[in-house]
Amino acid sequence: MAARKLYHKLETNAEKVLRFMNEEPVVYPAIQVLIDTGIWDAWTASGGGEKHIDELRGIAKEDIDPELLQHLLQLLASGNIIEETGEGLFQPTDFSLSLGDKNTLLAPALRVRTDHVMRPSLHFPEFLAKTGYRMPSDDTNSCYIDTYPEKKDYFGRCKENPSYQESFSSFLALWSQHRRPWPQFYDTQALLDSSDLSNGGALVVDIGGHHGADLFHVLKKHPDVPAGSLVLQDLPKVIASAKFTTDKIRAIGHNFFEPQPVKGSRVYYFHAVLHDWPDKTVVDILKQVAAAMKPGYSKLLINDIVLPPVGASIHQTGLDCFMLQISGKERTEAVWNKVISEAGMKIVNVWPDGRGYESLVEAELL
């Protein structure tokens, strides 16, 4: 972060404008073209190394014009994605090799920008002008919906097009690898010790938990929890694609706008879910949880960005402004307190992740 601040301090105003115009809008599309033509995959599979443009054309799965490829490769070299070692010669970097390594998830996760991010971001100024520069708070009339001809929200487009869901799922999987697991900064042992899991009681209900990454973090720390005590909930189509080799986790198809079917769990947990929605919708979601909670026993844990009053990072604010495009947002502690209170609960603590990115908001019934 310090190096980034120094770079921006040294950059002149003209250089900054040229970067916005000539670099940032075009480097990513060039990366995507090499993903689509299979060049990153083949370059990595061949062991990397310096290659002539003709060799790269030869390993591509699509017949890409040599002059076009030359332009793209020189752009990527000047953008430090690859290295230009001579006339028509290019060397991969660690980053570009990772784009061709399917184990990294980088290439499929990057596609979320093509499928979901770029067009709404470009449309955002026009949308705000059209809505009189009001805070986006209508999830049925978001910038995202207004951008695409389908006129569907983020999750509606994912439901209709499997490739959109795939890029979103890949992004979530990659993102989960780089976030600090919540049992590392919250005392789950004390939680477990004070839980009543007899008669099939639930320890954690992970609501909107996708494929259960956060439950596996709990299971890694507490492998002896009773069978079925960790509950994964998401829409039936998402649950159908989740695969488990343990009986500790049970998966339930559930729409969190409907009554919570698991009553009296020790914890009801959301991770990077509520930021997708405006305040009024979050209150509605949390009221469904509150109705299922056991007074004096159940806890609500929200693992999400808690924006600091001053000095938020570009990662926090960047995601925040994308959330605005779907009529969601990241929240300060004060705003979290407001929506949680309106749902009939109170915040009892906020646990930062120690990395300055996410926090765990702990709440109980009033």
Q: How far is CA 200 from CA 142, 148, 170, 203, in A?
A: 41, 45, 33, 9
Q: Are 242 and 249 in contact (CB under 8 A)?
A: no
Distance from C-alpha of 57 to C-alpha of 54, rounded to nearest angstrom: 5
If one counts every other C-beta atom within 10 angstroms of the C-beta of residue 90, the result is 23
Strands (E), 8-88: 51-52, 82-86
Of these residues, 210, 211, 271, 275, which one is catalytic? 275
What is residue 242's DSSP assignment? -
If one counts every other C-beta atom within 10 angstroms of the C-beta of residue 317, the result is 13
52 is catalytic: no
Q: What one-character-per-residue DSSP string does 167-212 give?
A: HHHHHHHHHHHTSPPGGGTS-HHHHHHT---GGG--SEEEET-TT-
CA–centroid distance for 27 within its chain:
21
**Hey, which residues are catalytic here?**
275
